[in-house]
Structure 1
Amino acid sequence: MQIRLWNTNLKVRLFGEALFNMLVWMYFPFIAVYFGNALGNDIAGMLMTVPPLFSMAGSLIGGALADRIGRRPVMLTGAALQTLMFAVFALSSSHWLDYAAFIAIGFGGAIYRPASTAMVADLVPAQDRRQVFATFTTANNIGAVLGPALGAVFFFHYRQELLWTCSFILLLYFIAIYLIVKESMPPGEGSAGRSATVGEIWREQWKGYGVIFRDKVFLVYILAGIFALVAIMQLDLYLAVYVTNYVPAQALFSWEEGKLMLSSTEILGWLLGLNGLLFVLFILPVTKWLRHWKERDVFIMSSLLSGLGTFALGFSTNLWFLFIVTIVFTFGEIVRSPVMQSFISHYAPEHARGQYMGADNLQYTIGRFLAPVTVFLSAWIPPMGIFSLILLSALISVVLYVHLFRIYPASSKQ
């Protein structure tokens, strides 16, 4: 489905989210370093465990409201909260106020995302969703490639100006949503027109989530995703520890007059850059190549590539071997991303699409909470032991995905 044929809502969102995502990646990778320098690494480490909990709550709230009052109002609320909190961050002279603003920015983004994803499902035919989701992922990953390189300069030397720019861009995006984006919730769904007390609203929404969490198929899907993501998320967790501690400095290229040497930290930077570049270059063609594959097969291939690729890291510290293995586990992540969103978009019933999108984010939150256990265990377990645990997690996800598509075979039919 070519971009020129997209609904105007989607075109506005693609441009706005891509631009803002680049700005986010100019500050997000360095936020832990910032709070570590300001408050101490031990305190910063504990503080960084709190934002995912707020993100989880924001996703559930945003998903519930998206089904009740519509996608557009929830997106406006999330964008407005982020706009305001970036301004607070820019004006703040207190590290604790900075931290509160940082949490609120994440909370606003979590409110926004389920409604945003539900809007894609509302407007795009099922057969085109993978490609559309892949296009959004490509746009976001362009920011993930460029943002950290720019942020290394701007965040530490021009932080206030960067935060004001984020606030201003988000304000423009808020205005664009308000003026251009139209509501996409299917007719007859929601209950914005019916009066109800706040208590009744919350009881109704949590009752809806109760139904979702008793959905066996959905729970197996979430559990399989958690184990898969524990393996996929190691790129900036145990992989960073392993490369900096065990991979020696070595030459990238050699020639007669000399050689280009890379330190351990520079090797890590090259691996991260390769990961981001592969995403930008290949997510669209790979998604097109796999468009006729069953979702079951894509999920299983993703878990195997990410698990086996990460496990293979322990066999050699040669730089070019690490590049090859990085390509393997990166493709495991690439094939998974658009299929996850398309699966839940057609599995969720229309009247609860926002709630399912919000609950779907739990696998990221729980996965991000569990994934750092590899770093913790690395103090006692050697690298091959840690890589074996990562592979085991991926294999468990494979078993769960096989079970998932046995109890819900209809989802494998495109």
Structure 2
Amino acid sequence: MHWRSWDVNLKVRLFGELITHTFFWMYFPFMALHFSDAFGKEAAGLLLTIPPLLGMFANLAGGYLADRIGRRTTMLLSIALSSTMFGLFAFSPSPWVDYVAFIGIGIAGSLYWPASSAMVADLTTEEDRRLVFATFYTAMNIGVVAGPVLGSFFFVHHRFELLVTCMIVELLFGLAIYAWVKETLPPRQAGSAPQAFSLKEQFQSYAVIFRDKPFAVYIGAGVLVAIAFMQLDLYMALYVKEHVPSQPLVWWGDWSFSIGGTSAFGWLMGLNGFLVVLFTLPVTRRFENWSDRNSLVLSSVLYGFGLFLMGFTVNIWLLFGCMVILTLGELIRTPVAQSFISKYAPDDARGQYMGASSLQFSIGRFLAPLTIGLSERLSPLGVFSVIFGITLVSALLYVYMFRLIPEERKKEASVRQP
């Protein structure tokens, strides 16, 4: 499915999300530093644990709203909130107002993504869905790579102008969605009578979802993978900074360019971002005929194995090789995980399943820092071994999950084998 044949909804959103994500990453990586300067490191650390917890509830609410009031309406509400919060941030008189705006922007994003993912699923066939999700993932990662580079200048030296621009960009994106994006809520839901927002009904809806045993196992496996994924800027960062000495990256005669510690970590993360942007679509095409089960299992094993191998070396080129292995696991997993939920979820609850699925990342982000404490008791190889063990358990859970899925749902949730 070539992008030129995409529905206009997808084209507008792909371009808009590329731009807004780039601006998001121009400010987001610097917020921990900003709040550390304002409140002190200890207080900032505590304050930064609150947004992910609120994001968990916002994700669930976003999925619920996407299935009740529509994908487009939920996205417009999210963008309106985000634009307002960027404006508040820009004209903020104190760090506490900055913090409130930061929370508001995070909540807006958590409301947006379940509706966004559900709309992609509404507009694509099962055969094309992986590739479309992979294209959106590539666009997102272009922002991840470019945003911090630009933000290192603009956030530090022109913060007010950057935040005002973010506000305007969000507003323009909202206007584009209002003008060109059409509602994609399935007809049976769209034709039903409007319902008032009900916390009780939302709780009951998600209670039914989490009693879906295969889906609960999927969330559990995803939490374990997310714990490993979050180690890129947690234990892996600590390991590289503390154990990787300065060493020549390239050399010619008496000249050499050396990296180590923090600079080595930056190069590793840069390689990860570069590989994601360059190879998401080729890898997705290469594995498009693999079953969801085999893709999820392989991605978990590769990701954990890449981290595990890091415990054996401090050579920067071997660490680059480890990063290639774990990034391949990331590239295989991401479009498959998104397309699997869109196929598995009932049409009338797709948004809620998307919202609930995001819990694996929120819970994983909450649990992942435990490896830092573990590093005080275990050697680096011991910590990486634990992480590898976690990913192997996730792989076994994926195998178990597909055995739980009834035969008729397997047909809907991919039965193709490589």
Give distance in 2, aligned partners of 1:376 and 1:272. 23
1:225-374 map, 5 Å = 225-374=222-371
The one-letter code matched in structure 2 to 1:283 is: T
Deviates more, 1:250-259 or 1:6-15: 250-259
Secondary structure of residue in 1 paired with 2:187 = coil
Alignment of 1:20 with 2:20, yes or no, is yes
Alignment check: 8 A CA contact 1:75 1:111 kept? yes
Alignment check: 8 A CA contact 1:227 1:397 kept? yes
Secondary structure of residue in 2 paired with 1:260 = strand
Alignment of 1:377 with 2:374, yes or no, is yes
* Structure 2 partner of 1:127: 127
* Structure 1 partner of 2:79: 79
1:77-226 map, 5 Å = 77-190=77-190, 193-194=193-194, 198=197, 201-226=198-223
Alignment check: 8 A CA contact 1:69 1:191 kept? no
Secondary structure of residue in 1 paired with 2:257 = strand
Alignment check: 8 A CA contact 1:286 1:335 kept? yes
Cα distance, 1:191 vs structure 2: 6.7
Alignment check: 8 A CA contact 1:26 1:152 kept? yes
The one-letter code matched in structure 1 to 2:150 is: L
Alignment check: 8 A CA contact 1:283 1:334 kept? yes
1:223-253 deviations in whole A, cap 9, x for unaligned?
Answer: 0011111112211111110111110011111
Cα distance, 1:5 vs structure 2: 0.4
Cα distance, 1:376 vs structure 2: 2.4
Alignment check: 8 A CA contact 1:405 1:412 kept? no
Give distance in 1, aligned partners of 2:255 and 2:174. 53
Deviates more, 1:377-386 or 1:298-307: 377-386
Alignment check: 8 A CA contact 1:76 1:177 kept? yes
TM-score (norm 2): 0.96
Secondary structure of residue in 1 paired with 2:189 = coil
Cα distance, 1:54 vs structure 2: 1.2
Cα distance, 1:379 vs structure 2: 2.5
Cα distance, 1:32 vs structure 2: 0.7
Cα distance, 1:262 vs structure 2: 1.4
Give distance in 2, aligned partners of 1:206 and 1:311. 40
* Structure 2 partner of 1:391: 388
Give distance in 2, aligned partners of 1:372 and 1:87. 32
1:90-116 deviations in whole A, cap 9, x for unaligned?
Answer: 110211111111011000111111111
Cα distance, 1:162 vs structure 2: 1.1
Alignment check: 8 A CA contact 1:89 1:101 kept? yes
Give distance in 2, aligned partners of 1:320 and 1:385. 22
Alignment check: 8 A CA contact 1:68 1:191 kept? no
Alignment check: 8 A CA contact 1:69 1:192 kept? no
Alignment check: 8 A CA contact 1:89 1:102 kept? yes
The one-letter code matched in structure 2 to 1:377 is: L
1:358-377 deviations in whole A, cap 9, x for unaligned?
Answer: 11110010011111111122
Alignment of 1:36 with 2:36, yes or no, is yes
Quote the sequence identity (%): 52
TM-score (norm 1): 0.97
Cα distance, 1:146 vs structure 2: 1.0
Which stretches in structure 1 are left out of the alignment for 5+ residues? none
Cα distance, 1:192 vs structure 2: 6.2
Give distance in 2, aligned partners of 1:328 and 1:179. 43
The one-letter code matched in structure 2 to 1:83 is: S
Secondary structure of residue in 1 paired with 2:251 = strand
Which stretches in structure 2 are left out of the alignment for 5+ residues? none
Alignment of 1:54 with 2:54, yes or no, is yes
The one-letter code matched in structure 1 to 2:390 is: S
Cα distance, 1:203 vs structure 2: 2.2
Cα distance, 1:67 vs structure 2: 0.6
The one-letter code matched in structure 1 to 2:81 is: L
* Length, aligned pairs only: 411
Cα distance, 1:26 vs structure 2: 1.1
Cα distance, 1:399 vs structure 2: 1.0
Cα distance, 1:204 vs structure 2: 2.1
Alignment check: 8 A CA contact 1:122 1:184 kept? yes
Secondary structure of residue in 2 paired with 1:26 = helix
Alignment check: 8 A CA contact 1:224 1:396 kept? yes
Cα distance, 1:202 vs structure 2: 2.7
Alignment check: 8 A CA contact 1:345 1:357 kept? yes
1:328-382 deviations in whole A, cap 9, x for unaligned?
Answer: 0111111100001000000000001111111111001001111111112223322
Give distance in 1, aligned partners of 2:379 and 2:163. 41
Cα distance, 1:33 vs structure 2: 1.2
Give distance in 1, aligned partners of 2:191 and 2:367. 37
Give distance in 1, aligned partners of 2:30 and 2:43. 16
Secondary structure of residue in 1 paired with 2:188 = coil
Q: Give me the CA root mean square deviation.
A: 1.2
Secondary structure of residue in 1 paired with 2:186 = coil
The one-letter code matched in structure 2 to 1:349 is: P
Give distance in 2, aligned partners of 1:191 and 1:42. 51
Alignment check: 8 A CA contact 1:221 1:404 kept? yes
Give distance in 2, aligned partners of 1:351 and 1:206. 16
Cα distance, 1:197 vs structure 2: 5.2
